[in-house]
Amino acid sequence: MPLPTDSTAHDTGSAPRSADDGRVAVDLWLVRYPARHGTGRLAVAELDAQERTRADAFLRPRDALLYTAAHLALRRLLAAALGLTPQDVSYVRESCPGCGRPHGRPALRPGLSPALHFSLSHSSGRALVALATAPVGVDIQRTPSAAATEACVRLLHPGERAELEETPQDRRGTAFGQLWARKEAYLKGIGTGLERPAHADYLGTPGPGPWRRPPHWTVLDLFAGPAHAAAVAVLGTPAEPLPVRPLPAEWLYEGAAARVVAPMPGRTEGRCTSRATGVRQTMKETPT
């Protein structure tokens, strides 16, 4: 089956309803390269066999460590939202909406929670985790070099290329990095990843021109440090604000998971007033 070539030719779903006002609950967490926490060890036993095998396959120890930390963070955050242990969290792959093969969005295995969605991205010492009550995608990456930028510009949507051509040369790498983060977040959110051509969708800055971003999706830039670009894509309208919260270092180390996830800071706005995150509170109120 050929891949679609425009943003209306694949099923991106309809706008979800997950809160009283129809907005989507989203929690975002930034995971930094783990420093040693006292005499503790990373809780590697909480990963499944496939994750441990993948971690062992990295050639550079730093990459393996970041992968391990990111997946531990994801497991513990999902466990906190669902009221499970990290070992009880398991994943499947949805079908790709472009080709139908099982390499689409990662999802919780059937029976855990159809209302909880997540996304994970890691690059150059940092990782970003999103939990949401609607399909979501995140991307984080180090700001690319000028050479990498020039090599990839030709892959972009015509409207995006036009915007970059108008960007001063000394800011083009930063602008391209942010644009590409939006694009990958959106492509992960719809479930195709880079199987879908990068030129098929416009993720630039909307203006008076003819280009518009994909319908139904909200794509936002995130701050993840001066050397990284990051973005989140959500099906629907997310509840505000959307802070990117740093994950406490101790959350990655061995110890009772209940003690680790209990101090999750809560939101005071809207209806999410408990110590749980907005997503966790919404999950408690959502029938499964």
Nearest residue to 264 via CA among 253, 279, 254: 279
Mean pLDDT of 246-268: 63
Residue 131 pLDDT greater than 70, yes or no: yes
pLDDT of residue 20: 56
Residue 126 pLDDT greater than 90, yes or no: yes
pLDDT of residue 206: 86
Residue 261 pLDDT greater than 60, yes or no: no
Residue 10 pLDDT greater than 80, yes or no: no
Mean pLDDT of 91-119: 90
Q: What is the mean pLDDT of the chain?
A: 83
Mean pLDDT of 254-268: 50
pLDDT of residue 167: 92
Residue 9 pLDDT greater than 50, yes or no: no
Higher pLDDT, 200 or 209: 200
Task: For residue 180, give the amino acid letter.
Answer: W
pLDDT of residue 113: 81
pLDDT of residue 39: 55
Mean pLDDT of 84-101: 91
**Least reliable range by pLDDT among 52-56, 76-80, 106-110, 252-256:** 252-256
Task: Find residue 120's DSSP bridge partners.
Answer: 129
Contacts within 8 Å (CB) and 24+ apart, 167-176: 172/146, 173/143, 173/144, 173/145, 173/146, 173/148, 173/149, 174/143, 174/229, 176/144, 176/149, 176/152
